[in-house]
Amino acid sequence: MSKGKITKIAIAVVLVGGILGWMFTAPYLSNEGLGRTPGVIIGGTPTPALADFSTLNGQIQGPMMMKLEGFPPFVNYLSWVGTPTGVISATRPDGGYWAQRVRDDGGNGWLRIGDATYRMKATEVLGPDKLPLMAQWAAKAGRSLDEPLYPGSELLRDWEVFFWTPRP
């Protein structure tokens, strides 16, 4: 084999290894808490929707994973709060990609909380219904609506709120 062919094979192996490594290790958590680098595989066990998602609040610690239908198949970590009828999530009002996809593509996706993966639909919450949901989310994070989640972020009252409900 020529040096050129060996070099091409070596580059291909490194690229494939890098892509596979990213697929199986991302998303990851940053020093600030929730990472902004998406992964591809959500994993977990497909699970029927719960009658009351608030029962998970004391049982499952840490972020949930979210994956939207369609392409690209990104998986992100999100902070969450379970309610009797669904799950509250929030994001900074910074034009984040997943929030725009919810608005543009209808919000169908999956949430993985612990090892259970649920078929869900996200809806952005606007107007007078937003702040009570955001207050629940902020309380779980140990914050009030009038403070940032971490230094440099917006006040929590200004964050975007999404409510996830079960879908068939």
Distance CA 168, CA 154 (A): 35
pTM over 0.85: no
pLDDT at position 59 = 86
> What pLDDT score was predicted for residue 28?
44
Domain boundaries, the chain: 3-166
pLDDT of residue 17: 73
- Sort 138 into a burial class: Cβ within 10 Å, 0-12 / 13-18 / 19+: buried
- Could you tell me the CA-to-CA distances from 44 to 86, 114, 117, 119 in Å, in that order? 19, 8, 5, 12
Give domain 3-166's CATH number out of 2.60.40, 2.60.120, 2.30.110, 3.30.460.
2.30.110
Q: Which two tokens stand for residue 117?
A: 């993966």
CA distance 1 to 18: 25
- The DSSP code for 39 is B
* Per-residue pLDDT reduced to its tens digit, 17-71: 766 665 555 544 443 444 445 567 888 999 999 999 999 998 888 889 999 998 8
**Per-residue model confidence (pLDDT) at position 21:** 62
> pLDDT tens across 107-124, in order?
999 999 999 999 999 999
